[in-house]
Structure 1
Amino acid sequence: MAALHDRAGTEPEDRAEAEPEDGVDGAGAGTGSRLWGGTTLAARRQARRAALLEAALDLIGEAGAAAVTMRAVCRRAGLTDRYFYESFTGRDDLLDTLYRQVAEEFLDPMTDFAAGEDPDRDRRVAAALVDKVLDDPRKSRLFLVEPYSSTGLGQTTIAVMPAFTRLLQDHLFGHIADPERRRLAAVTMAAGNAGMFSAWLNGSLKATRAQVIEHIVAVLAAYRAMYRA
């Protein structure tokens, strides 16, 4: 799903390749060299980038996307700001990259089931989505809760959501002949699911895993019945 990564940060040339990779504010000097000793510059860059993204996820899991700042991410990752800007142009670029990466992780297993012809397809798609939501609370919070707050993720969410709408439209609602009705059903269900999962994650909706799966399956069936003609 490379389309979800259109704005992934580019990596400038490292002018100080031979410099030691110190910890924040000089603490833990040399730890970078021990961790990445004997690896290529590209591999060290990739490892630093992954560490920054993981640090951002930890901060989101603890206090939401508002806690993600360049300094906080660098402190958590044990890297200096030079290495932050090696991979990202700023906070918004990091959040955009992370959000698209997480969205892809949600979309891939759903697509695998939705594109098939399994008679139990609806339940498999619903279970894959629910299990993904439960798998990593940090990622679920970023993907399903944080877009509702003022974190700068609004435009990224708008850019990513059509991929989920197309999955519903092309596979699960493919039987609806009228293209406008098919799109109406897909857009409405995608938005409704996002709101439902947000409420489920923040605790305002009390439901079990089985109940959420059954609800998704029932809603799919209801839309198909509504537009059967």
Structure 2
Amino acid sequence: MTKSVTSDDKKGRVYGGENLEERRTRRRQQFLDAGLQVFGTLGYRAATVRILCKQAELTDRYFYESFDTTEDLLMGVYRQQCEALAQCVVVALATAGSDTDFMSAIEAGLDAVFTHVSDPRVARVIWIEVLGVSPRVDKMYNDTMDGFGNLVMNVARQRFDDLGTKDQDEIRMVGLALAGAVSQCVLHWVLGGYRESKATMVSATSRVFRGLMSTLPP
């Protein structure tokens, strides 16, 4: 789809200290912020371009400047929130330090996960609203879960040198199993209205890590 461009944008003028590209980037982020709010509260299937534009305080021509459909926006919001979540985990692991024992590092990472998804909008977008939307969204979701599983096992490889010599297909599936366990616990936590404490969630999921890691093939 051809993106709508205003006459001011065609001229590439600087307004309010922003050039053309900066204005487009800002407007795109406004829609990503609006998508998080609308998809994370009202829900993706109830969202319309009109509702999203109202939330973003922009017109529909600016929506189509960055996104062809609401599904494209959903994917953009999902990717941005997953990147933010992954970054929180990476920072937590880096703060823990490479000399920290594996389980202490994992607990730091899990604490970062449950802190980040304490925002129900984020949790709803990542774990609920993307499910069953379309084959390409399903693929994005599955690829992201693979990525989180790989992140876990990369941490393990840094602390257990012999993991590099084991069956890597099995190691990959172990990582996916761990990511899936955390994912299911997050989903339960959100749908249950955050009934359990964050400390309980970290403690419970860390036990899964401890148990499954101990079963890796010799």
Report the TM-score when normalising by structure 2: 0.81
Which residue of 54, 57, 63 corresponds with 1:84? 63
Asked if 1:214 corresponds to 2:203, the answer is: yes
The 2-side partners of 1:198 and 1:91 are apart by 23
Q: Secondary structure in 1 aligned to 2:8? A: coil
Q: CA RMSD in A?
A: 2.6
Q: Could you tell me which residue of structure 1 aligns to residue 117 of structure 2?
A: 133
The 2-side partners of 1:218 and 1:40 are apart by 51
The 1-side partners of 2:126 and 2:9 are apart by 38
The 2-side partners of 1:184 and 1:76 are apart by 41
Which residue of 162, 168, 183 corresponds with 2:146? 162
Asked if 1:185 corresponds to 2:185, the answer is: no
Q: 1:189 to 1:140 in 2, by over 3 A?
A: same
Alignment of 1:195-210 (within 5 A): 195-203=184-192, 206-210=195-199
Gaps of 5+ in 2: none
Which residue of 219, 225, 228 corresponds with 2:214? 225
Q: Could you tell me which residue of structure 1 aligns to residue 133 of structure 2?
A: 151
Contact 2:74–2:130, Cα closer than 8 Å, also in 1 = no
Gaps of 5+ in 1: 1-9, 20-35
Deviation of the 1:204 alpha carbon? 7.2
The 2-side partners of 1:151 and 1:68 are apart by 13
Contact 2:31–2:56, Cα closer than 8 Å, also in 1 = yes
Deviation of the 1:213 alpha carbon? 0.4
Contact 1:11–1:87, Cα closer than 8 Å, also in 2 = no
The 2-side partners of 1:100 and 1:182 are apart by 25
- The residue identity in structure 2 corresponding to 1:185 is V
Report the TM-score when normalising by structure 1: 0.78
Deviation of the 1:205 alpha carbon? 7.6
Runs of at least 4 residues off by over 3 Å: 10-13, 112-116, 150-153, 173-176
Q: Secondary structure in 2 aligned to 1:180? A: helix
- The residue identity in structure 2 corresponding to 1:139 is V
